[in-house]
Amino acid sequence: MIAGIIFILLVSAGVVMFTINVKKVSRNINLGKDLDRKDQAQVRWKTMARVALGQSKMVSRPAAAILHIFVYVGFVIINIEVIDMFVDGIFGTHRFLSFTGGLYSFLIASFEILGFLVTFGCAAFLIRRNILRLKRFTSNDLNGWPRTDANAILISEILIMSAFFVMNAADASLFKMGSHHYTVSFANPVSQFIMPLFAGMNEGSLIFIERFSWWFHIVGIIGFLNYLPYSKHFHILLAFPNVYYSNLNKPGQFTNLESVSNEVKAMLDPSFTPPPADPDKPMRFGAKDVKDLSWKQLLDAYTCTECGRCTSSCPANITGKLLSPRKIMMSTRDRLTEVGKNIDLNGEFKDDGKALLGNYITAEELWACTSCNACVQECPVNIDPLSIITDMRRFLVMEESAAPAALNGMFSNIENNGAPWQFGQADRLNWSKE
């Protein structure tokens, strides 16, 4: 009875806290500019099914893809067990779902096998990060908190799974012993190997171990859920909407800024009247801070799980330049989180004298990009770092006139003679006579 109340309070607190944090993230994302991504619903659902649910872009790196599928499938399916634990937690039943008989035994056996694969996957991921030290996990982008975050996630998952195995092993031992409350028999292909450790233990100790593991598992899950909004691991939820709202145009196509179109039309055609400007939204060309980006670009930032496939395929990064597309996404999220905290504190955003451009992302990074789209191609959840780079270049060029001198030369050539080099337009057909 008391356990039931504690359980309900704990779960409620967990759900309330999670909801509050998700709302904050959602508010932060909505600080971004409008962008219509509601068209072509059918294509979007299909893309989501293929890329997010079906993990289609993961397979280009097979080792990571297989390990990830273990953890992903395991995580999704084992969560059915949470139903069992919730009903037991509230009503004090024991393994509520066991009324399904043979199916229950099959389910638990499946969970154990999947749980083993999850544990194996997480252990392999830890080894890749900390012992094999794969380049994309050791680069400077991840110094400090991001590296800790990654290890914390993997260790938590291993601990939560271990609790599940220990719980089952203790439970099965108690069943074998004929303990009063433990009346459900189930197949336990993995946890049976833990059972010998419990040989000779008395009933009380076993019940303690079983209860401790049960609470550890469920508290672990609730804790983990609440950790997500602070962590790169948020991708397990955001991957789905993020892929749904993917850019469906060809990656080579950059957006045409409408604000610019109006100005250019007015210049070329004196009779053109541009639509009246919205006084609430001061016009700015390109992006200086997170609020100048679109909500999708901000959703991208929260979705990024820092796997670094983008950076490891970036020609600029490969050749030692400062640019790292992963860092572009991480900086965007860091700045957005900072802006969010500022709003929490002051009720509305109070100028802190900082901006994404300058304080988080430098011009040198932006000017190293070849706009080759490798980062966009590589991202397993359709994040688009290139669009952020482009928008920030636009700010540098159009608001600050801060392009590298050589590019300014190229601009004036195009303006004056219609080519990026100093050749006259009148000579454009000379090649046919040479």
Q: Which residues contribute to the site for another protein (CB under 8 A)?
A: 60, 249-254, 256-257, 260-261, 263-265, 267-268, 285-286, 313, 315-316, 318-323, 364, 367-374, 376-377, 390, 392-398, 403-404, 406-407, 409-411, 414-415, 418-421, 423, 425-434
Q: Is the dihedral of CA 386, 387, 393, 396 positive or negative?
A: negative
The type of residue at 152 is A
Nearest distance from residue 246's CB to another protein, in Å?
15
- Give CA separation, 84 vs 6, 10, 23, 40, 167, in Å: 17, 17, 28, 39, 13
State the Cα–Cα distance between residues 377 and 149, nearest whole angstrom. Answer: 25
Nearest distance from residue 71's CB to another protein, in Å?
25
Burial class (CB in 10 A: 0-12, 13-18, 19+), 107: buried
Nearest distance from residue 87's CB to another protein, in Å?
48
Nearest distance from residue 259's CB to another protein, in Å?
9
**Residue number with CB closer to another protein (150 or 368):** 368
First to last CA, the chain: 95
Nearest distance from residue 55's CB to another protein, in Å?
16
**Residue number with CB closer to another protein (232 or 394):** 394
**Residue number with CB closer to another protein (105 or 413):** 413
Angle at 12 between CA 6 and CA 16, to 5 degrees: 145
- Give CA separation, 137 vs 147, 158, 429, in Å: 8, 20, 52
Task: Provide the token pair at 207.
Answer: 């019940």
Task: Provide the token pair at 360.
Answer: 């988080």
Nearest distance from residue 167's CB to another protein, in Å?
45
**Residue number with CB closer to another protein (183 or 370):** 370
**Residue number with CB closer to another protein (202 or 271):** 271
Nearest distance from residue 402's CB to another protein, in Å?
10
Nearest distance from residue 362's CB to another protein, in Å?
10
Residue 204, classed as helix, strand or coil, is helix
**Residue number with CB closer to another protein (103 or 318):** 318
Residue 33, classed as helix, strand or coil, is strand
The type of residue at 343 is I
**Residue number with CB closer to another protein (42 or 319):** 319
CB count within 10 Å of CB 172 equals 24
**Residue number with CB closer to another protein (97 or 369):** 369
The type of residue at 78 is I
Classify each residue of 74-94 as buried b or exposed e, where b means 16 or more C-beta atoms within 10 Å of its C-beta. Answer: bbeebeebeebbeebbeeeee
Task: Provide the token pair at 406.
Answer: 């050589």
State the Cα–Cα distance between residues 369 and 323, nearest whole angstrom. Answer: 7
Q: Which residues pair with 357 in a beta bridge?
A: 361
Nearest distance from residue 263's CB to another protein, in Å?
7
**Residue number with CB closer to another protein (107 or 314):** 314
